[in-house]
Each structure stands twice: as C-alpha cells, then as structure tokens.
Amino acid sequence: MDGLNDLKMEKLADELKRGALHPRNLIQQCNKQVDRIESAINALNRETFDRAVARIDEWQYDPARPFSGIPYVQKDNICTTGIATDCSSMILQGFVPPYAATVDARALQAGFRLIGKSNMDEFSMGSSTEYSAWGPTMNPWDTGRVPGGSSGGSAAAVASGMAPLAFGSDTGGSVRQPAAFCGCVGLRPTYGRVSRWGLIAFASSLDQIGPITNTVRDAAHALMVIEGPDEFDSTLVQRPKENYFETIENGMSDLRVGVLDVSFADWVDTRVKESFEKNVAWFDGHAKSLQEISIKSFDMILAAYYIIAPAEVSSNLARFDGIQYGPSVDLKEEGKEVDENTAADLMDFYRKNRGQGFGPEVTRRIMLGTFALSSGYYDAYYQRAQKVRSRLRAEMDKLWTDVDVIISPTSPTPPFMLESATVDPYEMYQADRFVLMQAMAGCPAISVNGGWTEIDDDGVTKLVKSKRRNCFGKYTKRLPIGLQLTTAPFMEGNLLRAARTFEREHV
Ligand code: GLN
C-alpha cells in the first residue's frame, strides 16, 4: 500500500479472482494501516479484525459473490450482531445489538468482512465528528482539520486506506459532506431505496444509509448490495435491485444539467467557488445542456431542517433512559432514598441519567425539538417548517421537468480546523447549506471529488491542479473540495452515470 485512497473494491475483487491476493493478506494489510495511523485519526470506535479473519482459510473465490473477502467499516449507529453499537454516545455505551441492520446483514451475505465500527458525531448530530463522546476524528489530509460529519470516521477510514468501503447514514448530509472533506465518494440514496431497519434513528423522515468509497463504480456496487425489498422497513419503497452497470459508462450527452448559482453567496468560500466554476465549465462540454437554476425556498431550508430534525429527535431519543446501557446515576450515593414507586425520584433518576448520558449537541436538539413541538409553538415552528418542506418538494418536482441533474458544491468551505465551529452551533449548521435540500425533498445525491486546494505555511489555501494522492507518512497539505450531483427520486442510474462520467476525466 503506497498511499491514501488506493483501496478500490473493483480492483481488489479482480486480484482476489485472479488469485493474486488472498483476503487474509488484504485484511492484514488493512490491520497494519489501522495500527499505523489510527492513533492520529481516531476513525474507529472499535476494531473487529478478529472476526474479519475468522475461518478465512475456508475462503474460496465465488463468482456469485465477487466482493467476498473485502473489508468494510460500519458506522456506529448501524446495528451489528454481537458487536457494540453506541452511536458515539455515553448513553448507549455497552449496547450490543442482538441483530444486524438489513444493510449490515446484506454486506455480510455478500461476503464483506467487517473490520470496525466508525466514529461519528453523537447520534449523527453534527458536521465535523467532534461531537463524539469518544473524541474527534481527524482529517487524514490534515490532522489539524475535521473530516466532516457525522460519518467522519467512515470517510476518514476510506480516505486513509483502512478499508475500501464504509457505510454512513445521511440525515442531512452526513454521508456526502464527510466524503467531500476526505476526498472520497459519498452516496445518499433516494429516501425509501435502502432499508433503515437496524439504523438507530435520528430523524426518521430524513435518515438514509449510503456507502462511502473511493470510486463511483464502487459506490454503485455497494448500493446494489444493500438496496432491494425488505419487509422490516415499512417506509421502504419495495422495488427490485437495479443494475447500474448497464448504463454507468454511457456518458452524459443526453442529460440536462442545472447549475445552482453560488456566485452571489458570500458564505461560499472563494476556493469552493473557483473549483465549482471549473467544474461547471467541464459539464458545459459534456452534458446535453446547461442552465442556471434557482430554488426559491433555498434560504429557508436550513431553518426548516433545524426544526424538523430536532422535532423528530425529541421523540426518537425519548426511549433512552440510561438504565440498561451506559453509566447510570446512583441516587443513593447522593444521599437520596430510592423509591421506584415515587414518580419524583424516578423522574429525577431519568433526568440525571439523560443529563449525563447525552452530550451538549444532542441535549440542545432534544430541547429545540421539544420546544418546537410544544403547544402554542407547534404552529409557529413545526408546522411552518413542514410548509417549507412541502414547498421545496413542489419546487424540485417542477425542476425535474427542465433538468436531469443538479450540480452544486457539497460544502460551502474546504475542511475546516478542529474546534473552529464548535463554539457557535449556528456556525456548524452552516456547513450543511448545500446538503439539506436533497434530504428534505427525498432526492438521491452523490459527492465526488471536485478539486484540491493547497495550504501554504500561513494556512492560506489556493487551488492546485494536482490530484495525486499522498502517502500518510509523507503527506503535503492538500485538501479536497467536493462536487455534488443530485437527481430526481429513484434516478440513481442517471446520478451514478453522470458522476462516473465526471470522475473518469478528473481522477
Ligand atoms: N449536520 C447535520 C446535522 O447535524 C446532518 C447530520 C446527518 O446527516 N446525520 O443534523
């Protein structure tokens, strides 16, 4: 292994098929990489290499399962049988699921080998992986910066050569934004395409699981592994698996591209604008047509999301009382009588357990959500936010008659410094401005690498041409900038094809 980003599922599958590589060696190689860099990156909440190599001697190449033997990382809010799953939260510390999420069961059925559970913002709330009870994950391209979030551990694991595949969950950008910050590919499928069974809920009307990989083709393979009917998720649109490879290499000369105009926005970093302009020029030469689009409700989406998501949080997280898992408060030690029949004591017990079990951002969301749903405020906040969501959906539905793909930056800024956005929650929320509309409208979207920016000694960055990957040991300061593509619901075929066409000429 001679650098970052060189683990590609397809390439590895080919080596396994030819007998040039045995999964035992591949898993060992990943284990070595984890040993070498994990202390600097903190991408994994726990490693499961022992399980990954179990009965590996019996492994045989099976053409029906071409990825059998390939390592993957699972986000720590996705249930894995017999392996602790704590959402990077104290309140779930020690929770060992007795069952696997559908996505995890399918990955295992396909023969993938789980090597670890990845760090994340607590219960997926955040955009930097700093709100983790187990400490932040660092960006493999510059360990002074964040990897994005909330699936930052998954993205950092893929970007640093720990595994060619990691799953993340995307409620409002948590797969795409960390993929952009780490120079990977991150795919958010259409809401209802991938089963949410076994995903510990954040905001159920928005949550989707998606893969983070090093190539668009690998993302397509991973999606084909995890999608498809599942009786356990009633919000799933029960449709058969698709074969994205029938069209993925067909170019995009038949696709109409809509460009989200970002030139006016003073909150978009100039290097992001510059990189985006270059990418727009490329699409001009490759798409059927290019037109600027605007979304009237765009400026209201952030506010609406930060009402709707916390409202769902306040109900989804009500079940965690800190009694079965996590350290619970000992009332006796505080000199109180424990009387479980007395509501006051029990409430006190819950309150204290929840107070110490949840971190500050989760607490803030529960309070925001409870407030927004409370009588008297429901109409003023929650209902108005839902109206914004409906309006956005209607606007986007209309847009799809004029364009097939929308392009935009993934994030308004390149990866930011650790601790620079944790002081002011609103600052952190700003990182999500380009990734919320897809979640709110239920559209699929993908983030691919759209360029690189170099940091000089003063921390000032400029765009650079070279896209060459660096070895972690001899790295130079170069930061990825993401490009995001979005399509209408269930049009992942076009989405992956357009992204692949772009990637073919850029990576
Ligand atoms: N950053 C967003 C939030 O904090 C989205 C997180 C996510 O998609 N899980 O809510």
Q: Is 150 a catalytic residue?
A: yes
Q: From the centroid of its chain, how far is CA 481?
A: 16
Q: Where in the chain is the domain with CATH 3.90.1300.10?
A: 9-246, 256-298+392-506
DSSP string, 87-127: TT-GGGTT---SS--HHHHHHHHTT-EEEEEE--SGGG--S
**CATH (residue range 9-246):** 3.90.1300.10
Single-letter amino acid, residue 494: N
Predicted pLDDT of residue 259: 98
Q: Cα 58 to the chain's mean position, in Å? A: 33
Mutation choice for ligand 1 from 132, 171, 176, CB with most ligand atoms inside 8 A: 171
Contact 141, 5 (CB under 8 A): no
What separation in Å is there between the alpha carbon of 124 and the centre of ligand 1? 6
Mean pLDDT over the full length of the chain: 92
- Helix pair angle (216-226, 9-18), 10° resolution: 80
Q: Name the catalytic one among 128, 150, 297, 314.
A: 150
pLDDT at 402: 98
> Which two three-digit tokens encode residue 316?
């989804």
Q: Which of 89, 124, 174, 447 is catalytic?
A: 174
Q: Which of 125, 199, 200, 429 to mutate to test ligand 1, by most ligand atoms within 8 A of the CB atom?
A: 125
Return the CATH number of the domain spanning residue range 256-298+392-506: 3.90.1300.10
Query: Closest ligand 1 atom to the C-alpha of 432?
Result: 1
Helix, strand, or coil here: 477?
coil
What pLDDT sits at residue 345?
75
Tokens read off for 372: 């927004």
Q: CB neighbours (10 Å) of residue 439? A: 28
Tell me, yes or no, if 374 is annotated catalytic: no
Q: Which atom of ligand 1 is nearest to the CA of 306?
A: 10
Amino acid at 194: V
Integer Rg of the chain from CA = 22
CA distances from 427 to 137, 422, 424, 431 (A): 19, 8, 5, 7
Q: Which atom of ligand 1 is nearest to the CA of 124?
A: 9
Annotated catalytic residue 275: no
Do 434 and 288 form a contact (C-beta atoms < 8 A)? no
pLDDT reported for residue 346: 80
Task: Report the alpha-carbon distance of residue 422 to residue 126 in Å, rounded.
Answer: 9
Largest Cα span, the chain: 75
Q: Are 439 and 171 in contact (CB under 8 A)?
A: yes
Task: Determine the Cα angle at 94 with ends 91 and 100, to 5°.
Answer: 105
Atom of ligand 1 nearest to the CA of 171: 8
Angle CA(38)–CA(44)–CA(49) in degrees, nearest 5? 90
Q: Could you list the pLDDT tens digit for every one of the 507 residues in the chain?
A: 334 457 999 999 999 999 999 999 999 999 999 999 999 999 999 999 999 999 999 999 999 999 999 999 999 999 999 999 999 999 999 999 999 999 999 999 999 999 999 999 999 999 999 999 999 999 998 889 999 999 999 999 999 999 999 999 999 999 999 999 999 999 999 999 999 999 999 999 999 999 999 999 999 999 999 999 999 999 999 999 999 999 999 999 999 999 999 888 999 999 999 999 999 999 999 999 999 999 999 999 999 999 999 999 999 999 999 888 887 776 665 555 655 544 357 888 888 889 889 999 999 999 999 999 998 999 999 999 999 999 999 999 999 999 999 999 999 999 999 999 999 999 999 999 999 999 999 999 999 999 998 775 555 555 555 444 543 555 456 889 999 999 999 999 999 999 999 999 997
CA of 12 relative to ligand 1 center, distance in Å: 32
CA of residue 187 to ligand 1 center, whole Å: 15
DSSP class of 382: I
Q: Which of 75, 88, 118, 154 is catalytic?
A: 75
Residue 21 DSSP label? -
Cα 177 to averaged position of ligand 1 atoms, centre (Å)? 9
Number of H helices, E strands in the chain: 15, 12
Q: What is the pLDDT of residues 335-389, one digit of tens each?
A: 556 555 443 578 888 888 898 899 999 999 999 999 999 989 999 999 999 999 9
Which ligand 1 atom minimizes the distance to the CA of 206? 8
352 φ/ψ angles, rounded to the nearest 5 degrees: -70, -40
Full-model pTM: 0.95
Which pLDDT score, from 0 to 100, does residue 476 have? 55
The per-residue pLDDT for range 126-136, each reduced to its tens digit, is: 999 999 999 99
pLDDT digit string, tens, across residues 308-320:
999 999 999 999 9
- The burial of 337, by beta-carbon neighbours within 10 Å (0-12 exposed, 13-18 middle, 19 or more buried), is given as exposed
Contact residues of ligand 1, CB 6 A cut-off? 124-127, 150, 169-174, 202, 309, 432
Q: What are φ and ψ of residue 71, in 5° steps?
A: -75, 150
Q: What are phi and psi of 182, to 5 degrees?
A: -105, 5
